[in-house]
Chain A
Amino acid sequence: MASVRERYEFLPRREAHREGGGQIANGNIPPAVIAPKQSQTRYVFSSMMSGHDDQTPDHRLPDTAQAEADIMFRHIRQFVENAGGTPSDIVNLTFFTMKDEFRPLIEQGVDALADSSKRPTYHVVNVAPSGLRGERFEVVTTACVKR
Chain B
Amino acid sequence: MAFPRQVVQVPGRTRAHSPVPEGTRCGDWLFSSLLGPTNGQRGETSREDAELLFKRIGNLLDAAGGSPDNLVSLAVYVLDDEDRAAINGEWVKMFPDPADRPARHILNVYPNGTHWRFSAWITAVMGDQLGRLVNSPMLIGRTRGGTGELPSDRLEEVEVMFDNLKSWIEGEGGTLDNVASVMVYLMEDDRSTVNTVWGKVFPDTSDLPCRQTLIMQPSGIPNAHYGAVAIAVL
Please list the residues of chain A having a beta carbon within 8 angstroms of any beta carbon in chain B.
Answer: 1-5, 7, 23, 27-33, 35-36, 38-39, 41, 43, 45-48, 91-92, 94, 96, 100, 121-133, 138, 140, 142, 144
Contact = CB atoms under 8 A, between A and B. Distances in A.
Contacts, number: 128
A41 B216 CA distance: 35
Contacts of B133: 43, 91, 142, 144
A123 B130 CA distance: 23
B91 A45 contact: no
B39 interface: no
A107 to B, nearest CB: 12
Interface string B48-76: 00000000000000000001011111010
Contacts of A29: 91, 101, 103-104
A23 B88 contact: yes
A29 B100 CA distance: 9
A36 B128 contact: yes
A3 B70 CA distance: 6
A79 B161 CA distance: 32
Interface of B: 67, 69-73, 75, 81, 88, 91-92, 98-111, 123, 125-128, 130, 132-138, 185, 216, 218-222, 227, 229, 231
Contact of A27 (B98, B130, B132, B227): B98
Given A31-B103, A121-B134, 16 more contacts: A3-B69, A3-B100, A28-B92, A29-B104, A33-B101, A36-B130, A47-B103, A92-B231, A100-B222, A121-B136, A122-B137, A123-B137, A126-B221, A127-B216, A129-B110, A144-B133
A128 B217 CA distance: 8
Contacts of A124: 138
Contacts of A32: 103
A41 B69 CA distance: 19
18 contacts: A7-B100, A23-B106, A28-B88, A28-B91, A28-B101, A35-B72, A41-B130, A47-B104, A121-B134, A123-B137, A125-B216, A125-B221, A127-B216, A128-B219, A129-B111, A133-B81, A138-B105, A144-B133
B111 to A, nearest CB: 8
B103 A33 contact: yes
Contact of A43 (B91, B125, B127): B125
Contact of A47 (B105, B110, B111, B123): B105
A138 B132 CA distance: 26
B69 A4 contact: yes
A5 B219 contact: no
Contacts of A27: 98
B81 A7 contact: no
Contacts of B221: 125-126
B78 to A, nearest CB: 9
Contacts of A132: 108
A126 B101 contact: no
B102 A128 contact: no
Contacts of A28: 88, 91-92, 98, 101
